[in-house]
């Protein structure tokens, strides 16, 4: 046909057009593929089925053939409570999540157990008394010796008591015990009883209760420091006492012990006393539970020790009269 390009030229034009189309399609495909790869997830997608829409019948769910056949791994049950949901559905009751434990409350404070009341240091019936006889002792005598000055007669007294197999009671001042620790040790070694005779031998009736307490406690400490326990026996210095001082001593845990007879050996020969008179005085007052007062020290004027000198004959005569001997611990037997 006149005016048309030659057949060969038309074919070349179609080939060039097809090549351009193919190149454009390849470029477009490359761009699309790059976009898909850029938006794809890094890891494998979770193998969970999409939730069924409301109102969909079970038959509208994905068929088994559409679900990947990947094995399901069981997760071991946790020993703790299940995790709480991240949100709550309004109008529905929810289980509260686990509450973190607070500080442990301190244990309930219970009152401390109270120790039992202390045993009375002496029978209640002796309270308020300055005892002059050992009640219920029968035909027995308590030989007692006061020590507040020197110890001149102590060796002889201890020797006589040991030879006769007799035990006595020694009332010591704290000052004497501190100055004569060997004498205290000898008294204790002989099996004799010890009592409290104050620290410095003052007249208690002229002292306030606070000073009485100091005198008794200090003497107790001094005697204990020398190796003896004077509790609960006490003897008033000079025998001076009244209801107030007796109560004060009782409140300190002591029972005051006086005497049934004072031998007056402390007066010495310068006071007109002899060893015979000492023994006679003790025998003339003889009675069940008699408490005899004697002294360890010598007379300061003549140096005589009449109580120590009279003691052997006194013990012999009392035994001949049918009497035995006790310490003042017999008071505490009730």
Q: Which residues are catalytic?
A: 146, 295
Q: How many CA atoms lie within 13 A of 20 on its CB side?
A: 6
Burial class (CB in 10 A: 0-12, 13-18, 19+), 313: middle
| Per-residue tokens: 326 | 């006790």
Residue 143's DSSP bridge partners are 292
SS (H, E, C) 83-97: CCCCCCCCCCCCCCC
What gap in Å lies between CA 334 and CA 329, rounded to an integer?
A: 10
Helix, strand, coil % over all residues of the chain, rounded to 5: 40, 10, 50
3-state secondary structure 185-227: HHHHHCCCEEEECCCCCCCHHHCCHHHHHHHHHHHHHHHHHCC
Q: 234 and 273 in contact (C-beta within 8 Å)? A: no
Answer whether 60's CB lies under 8 Å from 52's CB: yes
**Is residue 156 within 8 Å of residue 192, measured between CB atoms?**
no
In the three-class reduction of DSSP (H, G, I as helix; E, B as strand; rest coil), residue 284 is classed as helix
């Amino acid at each position: 046909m006149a005016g048309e390009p030659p057949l060969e030229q038309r074919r070349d034009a179609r080939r060039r057009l097809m090549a351009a189309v193919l190149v454009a399609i390849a470029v477009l495909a490359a761009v699309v593929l790059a976009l898909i790869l850029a938006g794809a997830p890094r890891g494998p997608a979770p193998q969970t089925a999409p939730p069924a829409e409301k109102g969909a019948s079970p038959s509208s769910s994905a068929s088994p053939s559409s679900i990947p056949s990947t094995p399901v791994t069981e997760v071991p049950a946790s020993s703790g409570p299940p995790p709480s949901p991240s949100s709550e559905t309004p109008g529905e009751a929810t289980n509260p999540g686990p509450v973190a434990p607070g500080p442990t409350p301190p244990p309930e404070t219970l009152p401390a157990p109270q120790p039992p009341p202390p045993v009375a240091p002496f029978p209640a019936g002796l309270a308020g008394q300055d005892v002059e006889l050992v009640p219920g002792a029968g035909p027995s005598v308590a030989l007692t010796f006061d020590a507040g000055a020197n110890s001149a007669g102590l060796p002889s007294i201890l020797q006589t008591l040991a030879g006769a197999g007799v035990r006595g009671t020694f009332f010591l001042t704290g000052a004497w015990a501190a100055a004569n620790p060997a004498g205290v040790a000898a008294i204790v070694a002989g099996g004799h009883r010890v009592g409290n005779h104050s620290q410095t031998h003052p007249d208690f009736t002229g002292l306030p209760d606070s000073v009485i307490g100091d005198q008794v406690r200090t003497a107790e400490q001094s005697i204990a420091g020398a190796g003896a326990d004077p509790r609960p026996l006490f003897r008033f210095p000079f025998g001076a006492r009244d209801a107030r001082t007796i109560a004060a001593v009782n409140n300190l845990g002591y029972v005051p012990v006086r005497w049934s007879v004072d031998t007056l050996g402390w007066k010495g020969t310068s006071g007109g006393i002899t060893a015979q008179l000492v023994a006679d005085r003790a025998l003339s007052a003889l009675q069940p539970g008699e408490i005899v007062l004697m002294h360890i020290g010598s007379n300061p004027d003549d140096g005589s020790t009449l109580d120590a000198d009279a003691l052997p004959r006194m013990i012999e005569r009392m035994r001949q009269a049918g009497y035995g001997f006790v310490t003042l611990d017999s008071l505490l037997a009730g």
